[in-house]
Amino acid sequence: MTTFERIVQIKESKGAGYFVLIDPDKWQPEQIADLATEACEAGADGILVGGSLLLSSSFDELVKIIKKQINIPLIIFPGSTTQVSRYADALFFLSLISGRNPTYLIGEHVRAAPVIKALGIEPISVGYMLIESGNTTSAEFMSNTRPIPRNKPDIAKATALAAEYFGMQMVYLEAGSGAEMSVPDEMVTEVRDYVSLPLIVGGGIGTPEDAVRKVRAGASFVVTGNVLEKGGKRSLMREFAAAVHGE
């Protein structure tokens, strides 16, 4: 079974899945193994690893460490072509389809594709859409693109449909890490009703109640990263997992 099939099965059996994002720049290397173990024990359905900047120089080693700790899918969520590792189960092959910067639409992908093939990593094709969320986010700044205005669900719907017609496997509605405001629930619902791809929703989801709202709105997968950096992470991950799974 591919990792994509595994995560689709999680959505089908649990209603929705919960992913914990580990940004190697936000944690000390010695904390990362514990965090991955805790996420697994808390009921997370997958670990995403990656970040917009990646100042950490030992990405491959960190992915290897995380992989040893967990039995749930480990998926690279790359900010650039430097974030590739043979130890991951899969990699979100993200095209930043909300923007008009060719580097993040196709440029980085041409560089990365042969490396991904040579390392034997499973690519999961994802239409990545930045949604306006208050302040400028790292993803927006680093990609030099403008997000989709939060009051323009029609643009989000049309963009997600284009992803479906391109044959992409998933759509990621992204407010940006640490966003002031998460993706509007109404936008999630409108996109869910318009396309048939599984929807990942992340950025600025600060409480389990927020996560429940995203699932009710139509998210297939909810991602949290930033909120776990503020302490109490084990119990918080448990609450998020329970909330996403409708327990």
Binding-site ranges for ligand 1GP (CB under 6 A): 21, 174, 177-179, 202-205, 223-227
Number of Cβ within 10 Å of residue 145's Cβ equals: 19
Q: Could you tell me the smallest distance in angstroms from the CB atom of residue 205 to ligand 1GP?
A: 6
Instruction: Give the gyration radius of the chain's Cα atoms.
Output: 16
CA distance 58 to 156: 36
Q: Tokens 């950490």 belong to which residue? A: 56
Q: Could you tell me the smallest distance in angstroms from the CB atom of residue 117 to ligand 1GP?
A: 25
Query: Do residues 65 and 95 lie in contact, with contact meaning Cβ atoms separated by under 8 Å?
Result: no
Q: Could you tell me the smallest distance in angstroms from the CB atom of residue 243 to ligand 1GP?
A: 14
Nearer to ligand 1GP, 4 or 221 (CB): 221
Measured in whole angstroms, the distance separating CA 57 from the mean position of its chain's CA atoms is 21
Q: CA triplet 73, 237, 124: central angle to 5 degrees?
A: 25
Nearer to ligand 1GP, 13 or 128 (CB): 128
Q: Measuring CA to CA, how many Å separate 35 from each of 17, 152, 171?
A: 18, 37, 26
Question: Which residue, judged by CB position, is nearest to ligand 1GP in the bound state?
Answer: 202
Nearer to ligand 1GP, 140 or 190 (CB): 140
CA distance 212 to 240: 8
Nearer to ligand 1GP, 68 or 146 (CB): 146
Q: Could you tell me the smallest distance in angstroms from the CB atom of residue 118 to ligand 1GP?
A: 27
Nearer to ligand 1GP, 72 or 223 (CB): 223
Q: Tokens 């409708």 belong to which residue? A: 246
Q: Could you tell me the smallest distance in angstroms from the CB atom of residue 37 to ligand 1GP?
A: 20
